[in-house]
């Protein structure tokens, strides 16, 4: 029974994400209709629209955490690790960027940052390794650099939402910006990211 309830909850979340990305003002009624269930079923899983938004933000943060962990696995060079983690995070963030912008109306920015804390800690550890090895050079401590990296993602998500940055370029731009913020030269950053994003 629990398995079926979990599957229903997952399906409602997937449909809700699609509906909210299509119509930022989609109501719980619209989401229920799109999911092919009665309104009561949606409210059985999510007592309010804010609760649904919060669950979707949790889902996005979890997906970023998994993608970053995979990107960092078995990567020796901290600069390559940083670039890979940014590209992986952007791939997830791009799918959720309109949602994150929308979620800031109902989920506090502080709440979003709190959900990203595991991602930030893992990133800070990787940045610290780069600073210790001299691969990165910055007047900022590693944890502050991790915050900078996070804000680069949020800033570029908003830039894409506002139509001032091509979404096809945003992931590459995010990785290059994070590398240069950590003290990697622009030329090396561009070359490293180009190598990672080149078609196989």
User: What is the distance between the alpha carbons of residues 77 and 170, in angstroms, rounded to a whole number?
Assistant: 23
Structure confidence at residue 183 (pLDDT): 95
Structure confidence at residue 76 (pLDDT): 87
Return the percent helix, strand and coil in the chain, to nearest 5: 80, 0, 20
Structure confidence at residue 155 (pLDDT): 87
Structure confidence at residue 108 (pLDDT): 57
Least confident range from 17-31, 90-104, 149-163, 183-197: namely 90-104
User: What is the distance between the alpha carbons of residues 18 and 32, in angstroms, rounded to a whole number?
Assistant: 12
Residue pair 42/12 in contact (Cβ under 8 Å)? The answer is yes
Give me the DSSP letters along 23-41. -TT--HHHHHHHHTS-HHH
Structure confidence at residue 56 (pLDDT): 85
Structure confidence at residue 16 (pLDDT): 87
User: What is the distance between the alpha carbons of residues 96 and 115, in angstroms, rounded to a whole number?
Assistant: 15
Largest CA distance in the chain: 58
* Residue in 100, 98, 101, 91 with CA at minimum distance from that of residue 66: 91
User: What is the distance between the alpha carbons of residues 138 and 142, in angstroms, rounded to a whole number?
Assistant: 9
The per-residue pLDDT for range 149-196, each reduced to its tens digit, is 988 988 888 888 889 999 888 999 999 999 999 999 999 999 999 999
User: What is the distance between the alpha carbons of residues 61 and 76, in angstroms, rounded to a whole number?
Assistant: 25
The per-residue pLDDT for range 133-149, each reduced to its tens digit, is 999 999 999 999 999 99
Structure confidence at residue 135 (pLDDT): 95
Rounded to an integer, the average pLDDT of 62-77 is 88
User: What is the distance between the alpha carbons of residues 112 and 13, in angstroms, rounded to a whole number?
Assistant: 18
Q: Is the pLDDT of residue 109 over 70?
A: no
Q: Is the pLDDT of residue 129 over 60?
A: yes
Average per-residue pLDDT for the chain: 86
Q: Which helix (H) or strand (E) holds 109?
A: helix 109-115
User: What is the distance between the alpha carbons of residues 174 and 149, in angstroms, rounded to a whole number?
Assistant: 8
Sign of the CA dihedral 1, 115, 75, 178? positive
SS3 68: helix
Question: String of b and e for 45-55 (b: at least 16 CB within 10 Å)?
Answer: bbeebeebbbb
Structure confidence at residue 128 (pLDDT): 96
Structure confidence at residue 8 (pLDDT): 81
Q: Is the pLDDT of residue 199 over 60?
A: no
């Amino acid at each position: 029974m629990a398995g079926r309830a979990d599957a229903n909850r997952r399906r409602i979340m997937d449909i809700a994400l699609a509906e909210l990305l299509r119509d930022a003002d989609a109501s719980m009624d619209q989401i229920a209709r799109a999911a092919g269930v009665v309104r009561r079923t949606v409210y059985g899983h999510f007592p309010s629209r804010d609760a649904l938004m919060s669950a979707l933000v949790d889902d996005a943060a979890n997906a970023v955490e998994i993608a970053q962990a995979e990107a960092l696995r078995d990567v020796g060079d901290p600069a390559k690790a940083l670039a890979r983690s940014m590209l992986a995070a952007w791939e997830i963030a791009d799918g959720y960027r309109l949602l994150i912008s929308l979620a800031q109306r109902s989920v506090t920015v502080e709440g979003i940052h709190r959900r990203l804390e595991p991602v930030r800690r893992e990133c800070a550890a990787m940045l610290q390794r780069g600073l210790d090895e001299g691969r990165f050079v910055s007047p900022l401590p590693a944890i502050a650099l991790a915050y900078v990296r996070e804000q680069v993602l949020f800033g570029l998500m908003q830039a894409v939402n506002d139509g001032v940055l091509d979404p096809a370029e945003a992931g590459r731009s995010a990785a290059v910006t994070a590398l240069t913020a950590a003290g990697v030269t622009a030329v090396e950053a561009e070359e490293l990211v180009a190598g990672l994003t080149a078609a196989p």
